[in-house]
Chains A and B, each alone.
Chain A
Amino acid sequence: MKTLDRRGFLKTSAGAGVMTLAAPTIVRAADFPERNIKVIIPTREGGGADRNFRAFAEVWKDKLGTDFEPGFFPGASGRVGYEVYMGKEEPDCYSLIFGNMGPEVLNWAMQEPSNFSVDDYFYFGRVDVDPGCLFVGAESGLQTMDDIIAAGKERKLNVGTSRMAHPASIGLLALGEATGAQFNLIPLSGGKNTVAGAVTGEVDFSVLTSGSVIAAGDAVKTLLVFGENRVGEALDNAPSMNDAFGTNLPEMLSSRAFAIHRKAAEDYPDRFAKLQESFKATFEDPRLLESYVSLGGTPEYLSYGGVEECAEFMQAMLELGAKYKPLLTGA
């Protein structure tokens, strides 16, 4: 009969100890998620973020093994949603925020709320990249960029935008700097109103995330893209601003992404790892594209991004926000 010697005893004890110490983590990781995951959306129901969230969650829920519960907290250009997420949700990986990195980081740069720092949360999963664009109503008297530049040199043109702190607004300001045309940004509160403003003539033309412009169909005509035109005909083959005007502007993107409390990722690395893995696996599933397209998404805009890509984008937005802050805040 084999007996346990001292060395064997120590080895077994050490192994058991490691197992015991590791067990809660393994069990926690294996058990996560035990309940639904709440997702704060800082815009209204029925908007682009709602649509993208539903398309993504439809597939992600199978990968993660739990459902997602959206909660809509619009207001103050997205600030309400972030305040709710940072102030009221437990940092335990059971709550996420699905925001639009471009305008919402810019908004933070404009207002810098004292309640939390922009470093207290971070984006870890980018769903899409959607460049801003400039478009006119189908019946507008301004039908080309030449018309717009010429008119903008004669008088200040009113330009609709979803909100002041928006990448497309920055694209327009950069266009003004490059051409000498004068523009007056008019915040029309949301994508649908921005499209309506251009179509009905409330403003001379509008700038907006191109996905919403594509959805507006024949009612509008796109003249310029603040980034690469990935969809060609769907945006009326409009050129990129850098090609048309020789500028060196980074892409002015709306980029929807999931973010999480930094504390949650640090306190529960196992849970966060599971979120990241399942997020990435969702992108590998062909059902995602089907779901995204069926809910009106533009397939060319679906684009995976992890922690690094998101951080890089966020930094660029903060720098642009600081540069254009006086023009976007009226300060």
Chain B
Amino acid sequence: MADRISELSLVQRAAQELSGGQLVALGPGLPTQIPGVLPRQGAIWFLADSGALGYVTQGTDEAPASSVDSDGRPVALGPGGTVLSLVDAAGMARSGRVDVAVIQTAQVNSRGDFTHWTTAATPGQFIPATAVDLAAGPKKVIAVMPHTSPEGKPNLVADLEFPVDGVGSVSTIITDVAVLNVTHRGLMLMEMAPDWRMDDVQAISGVPLMPPPDMGEMTFSITPARSPSKVFQNGVDALFDLKDGATVLIDGFAGPGGMPHYMLVSLREQGSKELTMISNTAGIARIVNFGTPPGMTAIDHSILIENKQIRKVIASYPVSPRASKPSAFELAYRRGEVELELVPQGTLAERLRAGGAGVAAFYTPTGVGTRIAQGKETRTINGKEYLLEQGLQADFCIIRGHKADTLGNVVYKGTSRNFNAVMAPAARVTIVEVDEVVEAGTLNPEEIVTPGVYISRIVVRPKEFSPYE
């Protein structure tokens, strides 16, 4: 048999699977070496079990480092990198936001089930760390491991020797002799290490391997990745794929602060109809009217209702505080033009947070015994009554930040943070309207509130734009 490839080569081959702009979660062990082998740092977002996001290098001995990777080794944050609490990191992994997770496994079977860390040396130990979390959410899971155990037994097995940590999760396996894909018919051998023959790989595998139509040889060079630009020239362009019938989150509190006025006007101009709008109010800033110049009205969610673009509203505060001055939503509702789902403000925030964090549903005490509880499951837990509420997710989200860097990291100003931070992760495409775009690395990593991972598009509010009309 030919030589097995080195750990470094294995890591380089794994790095070939990644491309610019992706969010890649790296578990402990071999995966932590991936950032160090890339020819260009910073184009791929790496997420470590420690909460480091957008870190670039590894292995400095300078102490004390303020950030560490999944193995606890010091790392530096790259330009635009930041740190997450582990509940936010877990939400990012669970919600499907992670493009690729790279996990070191002990064993994988032909269905893509894996055991993470339990081995013959530690048969009774279940050590999931983050592997169980990473098995559940990411779009693709890559397993990396030596092809055989230290005792020479195959790590590709028909049946896992130890209980499974992730079911059907792994799609690609990279070992020190081969690259394999998990298919519905079993493991397909895609590439072999230089000078290896299929019989030799089969001989150290515990399951039958299928030959591919076109066998490749493992290579180890890595093409430098680039991350795509997120900055759009104007609001309408940034809404190019927003179609009729879409569900759209639009932030804002009661007054004019923290509202994406320019994007609201852009959405009116873009003209999509039959939208479901999820927002705190359905447009009362123009009634509250703080600071509006005489003879003008504040731009708010009402402009979309007046333009007959909204079919349904999910909101906590859809009505005017003044009976004599009904909101555009109230008038449309009375005419039967829009539907309403009423949600208490805190529950709305929690449902959005759940939607963005991969929490399907949760029990909350809010609304028990009120009309909010009608038609919902209730449950007594430790003597207290709760309602079951579902997570909310949307196709698009439009938020208002103060500054963004070119990677989409956002900071806010004062209470204009309101629903922005909780809405951004809850949509497939999130567009931020900001006063200013700065270079990546300009924002203090400790200060970033919404990580760029959650921002797809950035639009700068034109200097001459007025929030009144």
Is B truly associated with A?
Answer: no
Q: List residues of A whose CB falls within 8 A of some B CB.
A: none
Q: List residues of B whose CB falls within 8 A of some A CB.
A: none
